[in-house]
Amino acid sequence: IVGVLTAKLMKFDEDHINDGLFGFNATLYGIALVFYFQTNVWVWGALIVGSALTTILMGFALKKNLPVFTFPFILITWIALYVLSIPELALRTVPEHFVDIQEMDDFLIEGHAFGQVIFQGSLIAGLIFFIGVFLSNPMGALYGFAAVIISVYISHHGHESVDMTNNGIFSFNAVLVGIALSGPRVRDGVYVLIGTIIATYFDHFLIHNGWTTLTFPFVFAMWAMHPVKLIDKWLVNRFSSAEGTS
């Protein structure tokens, strides 16, 4: 609500508002605050201000045609986590869904990975999210499913935490990469593979260095793939033009 209202007050593009481009960063930010902190007046204040800021950043990015994806949510959440961690401002919560699991069926890992996208680690939440994505974008959902398999393989063979792997902590960014880079062409599958590898290894790096990763590995992977896709598009157009003139 705050994101949409801010977008309207700032007189951002109405089509972008209707497409939800100003709402998803604010929504993720709001979920993150409630996830990490017990609610009080400071948390609610930060939620309102931060939601507005994510919208303003997104509006600026859209005007400049910058591929920020969920970076407004990431940046403002990092700032909020730092500010609200000041003693007596807000109490951290202990995520209940990070249960101690030693072994888990691969299918259940998939469900947890999809759920972690929206900070919900339960299998039911993950399945609901997967079904929602599948109904909207079947190919994206299936590529997201495949991306989780790749990320889990990398995490297991990299001797990462079994609990974190099984709970989908190393895989939810892979889900986003799979959805975002999905497409009907063979090279789209290659993009998903490369993007998932980048996101997973970067996820490991951030966690080992004490960062709150959020969806930054996904954004980083998309930034890394952006010039590749631009070059690919340029080559396709160039060869198409050459064939047309021959």
Contact 42, 29 (CB under 8 A): no
Max distance between CA atoms of the chain, in angstroms, equals 72
**Tokens 């204040």 sit on residue:** 45
**Tokens 């309102």 sit on residue:** 48
pLDDT at residue 115, rounded to an integer:
54
User: Residue 56 contacts by C-beta under 8 Å, 6 or more apart in sequence?
Assistant: 6, 10
- Report the C-alpha gap between 168 and 198 in whole angstroms: 17
Contact 146, 179 (CB under 8 A): no
User: Residue 183 contacts by C-beta under 8 Å, 6 or more apart in sequence?
Assistant: 139, 191
Domains for the chain: give ranges and CATH numbers.
1-94 (no CATH), 99-246 (1.10.3430.10)
pLDDT at residue 123, rounded to an integer:
64
**Tokens 């909020």 sit on residue:** 80
CB burial class (10 A; 0-12, 13-18, 19+) of residue 58? buried
For the stretch 19-71, pLDDT in tens is 888 988 999 899 889 888 999 999 999 999 999 999 999 999 999 999 999 99
pTM: 0.82
For the stretch 132-152, pLDDT in tens is 888 989 999 899 889 988 998
3-state DSSP percent of the chain in helix, strand and coil, to 5: 70, 0, 30
For the stretch 79-89, pLDDT in tens is 999 999 888 78
